[in-house]
C-alpha cells in the first residue's frame, strides 16, 4: 500500500511538470492575448503597429491593467505583501 501511495504521488508530481515547448506556447498565448487586448488602443494613440514604441505601449498598458486589477504587479516580489506604489506616494511594503 505504501509503494502504491508513493507511486501515485510521484506520478502526480510528474504530471505537473511542463516541457520548455509547453511553457513557450503558454507564453506566446499570453503575448497574443496582450496584443489582441491592448494593441488596438495603442494604434489609436498613434503608434505605428508592430513598432518598438507600439510594443512598449502594449506592455505598459498590460502592466497598468495588472496593477489596477491586482493592486500590484503579480510577478514582482512574488506578491508577498509588497506593493509597488502606495497612495501615500512611496515605494515599499504596505504594512
What does the pLDDT look like over 22-68, one tens digit per residue?
Answer: 889 999 999 999 999 999 999 999 999 999 999 999 999 998 988 88
Would you place residue 8 in the very low, low, confident or very high pLDDT band (cuts 50, 70, 90)?
A: low
- State the Cα torsion 25-58-35-37 to the nearest 10°: 120
Q: What are phi and psi of 34, to 5 degrees?
A: -60, -45
Can you give the length of the chain in residues? 95
Host H or E run for residue 4: helix 2-15
Q: Are 86 and 94 in contact (CB under 8 A)?
A: yes
DSSP string, 5-16: HHHHHHHHHHHT
Give the three-class secondary structure for 82: strand
Amino acid at each position: 500500500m505504501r509503494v502504491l501511495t508513493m507511486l501515485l504521488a510521484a506520478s502526480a508530481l510528474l504530471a505537473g511538470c511542463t516541457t520548455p515547448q509547453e511553457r513557450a506556447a503558454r507564453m506566446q498565448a499570453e503575448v497574443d492575448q496582450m496584443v489582441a487586448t491592448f494593441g488596438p488602443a495603442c494604434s489609436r494613440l498613434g503608434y505605428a503597429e508592430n513598432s518598438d514604441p507600439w510594443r512598449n505601449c502594449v506592455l505598459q498598458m498590460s502592466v497598468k491593467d495588472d496593477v489596477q486589477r491586482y493592486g500590484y504587479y503579480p510577478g514582482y516580489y512574488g506578491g508577498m505583501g509588497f506593493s509597488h506604489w502606495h497612495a501615500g506616494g512611496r515605494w515599499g511594503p504596505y504594512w
